[in-house]
Amino acid sequence: MPLKDLIDNPHSERVRRLVALGRGNSHDFKRFLVEGPQSAREAVRYASDSISDIYVIKEACISNKEETNQFSSLQAIIKEALSKDLYVHPVESSIMQKISADSQGIVAVADSRFLNDWYLSEFQNLQESSHANSSTNPLLIAACWQVRDPGNAGAIIRVADVAGCDAVVFVDDCVSRWNTKLVRSTTGSLFHLPVVQLSVQDWFDYAKKANIRVIAADIYGTDQLKPVPFPKILASEELTSNSLALLFGNEARGLPQGVLQQVDDISIIPIYGKAESMNLATSAAVMLMGLAMSSHARKI
């Protein structure tokens, strides 16, 4: 598919819609903006069916045989997008800056309905496979209850991807998965693994049916279930060789008693220095990577 015509009118309806998407002011909840080369590349590579249009600064659309030129990364994305019959629109640099100050020369428009359908299909397949093979092919899932900060949520999706998690679950009233800052924070991981939104009850029903043991990250615990230091969790071959989910709480309030009473275990990260605590995304990184490395070490 050839390149589309140059977009050079900053007052056009198309530009106004793109600006609204980028600022989160759009009433079009079916679409969202993907900013930057890394996120756009991953969207084109792994979820091209979700992409309706790609907008690139016009300078990158000029053919240049020197692979080391400053626009080579953008040109590689353009080439792959055109090979998949995606619409690619050259844009004046001043207009791109208006659309997104964080674009680094490229943005894509994605369809949240397609992604959500793919997420749910993959997530259902995980449940069925885990129910049948929980010990031979254990799952690792990152779950967050009422996470509200898009930067934290995006960072958790990214670290879950790094840790090889099978899915991320947003439990209850969380930040939108299509929030522009969240999408940017994932640096493309949003297009690598299912990120689903579930109610508290649906989440625990899913975990039970899939034979997933849910471990909550919490410093207080309940009257019946006290927090276990995380190193003890890692040392338990029985735990780490089966399907697990780590459940993290809200940035300010943690996890409520009603949720904690439904988990299988509660764990706490020991602090060896003088710091009082770690933030949500850092805690998630420590625990998810700890479980991932423990699991892989046992396979060596």
- Is the same domain home to 262 and 228? yes
Contact 170, 177 (CB under 8 A): yes
- Is the same domain home to 90 and 191? no
Q: Return the pLDDT at 261.
A: 96
- Is the same domain home to 95 and 203? no
Alpha-helical runs (H) found in 134-256: 150-162, 180-186, 200-209, 230-235, 237-240
Residue 6 lies in a domain: no
Q: Return the pLDDT at 297.
A: 72
- Is the same domain home to 244 and 148? yes
- Is the same domain home to 257 and 169? yes
For the domain that residue 55 is a member of, what is the CATH number?
Answer: 3.30.1330.30
Q: Return the pLDDT at 266.
A: 98
Which tens digits make up the pLDDT trace of 134-146? 567 789 999 999 9
- Is the same domain home to 186 and 288? yes
Main-chain phi, psi angles of 77, to 5 degrees:
-70, -45
Residue 2 lies in a domain: no
CB atoms within 10 A of CB 38: 18
Residue 1 lies in a domain: no
Residue 60 lies in a domain: yes
- Is the same domain home to 145 and 259? yes
Q: Point out the domain boundary residue: 113, 129, 159.
A: 113
- Is the same domain home to 75 and 179? no
Residue 296 — pLDDT band, cuts 50, 70, 90?
confident
Worst-scoring range by mean pLDDT, 27-31, 113-117, 130-134? 130-134
- Is the same domain home to 90 and 236? no
- Is the same domain home to 87 and 18? yes
- Is the same domain home to 237 and 280? yes
> How many separate domains does the chain show?
2
Q: Return the pLDDT at 127.
A: 86
Distance, CA of 233 to CA of 86 (rounded, Å): 47
Residue-number span of the structural domain to which 282 is assigned: 137-297
- Is the same domain home to 154 and 276? yes
Residue 200 lies in a domain: yes
Alpha-helical runs (H) found in the chain: 13-23, 37-46, 72-83, 93-99, 112-133, 150-162, 180-186, 200-209, 230-235, 237-240, 257-260, 280-299
For the domain that residue 265 is a member of, what is the CATH number?
Answer: 3.40.1280.10
Residues in the chain: 300
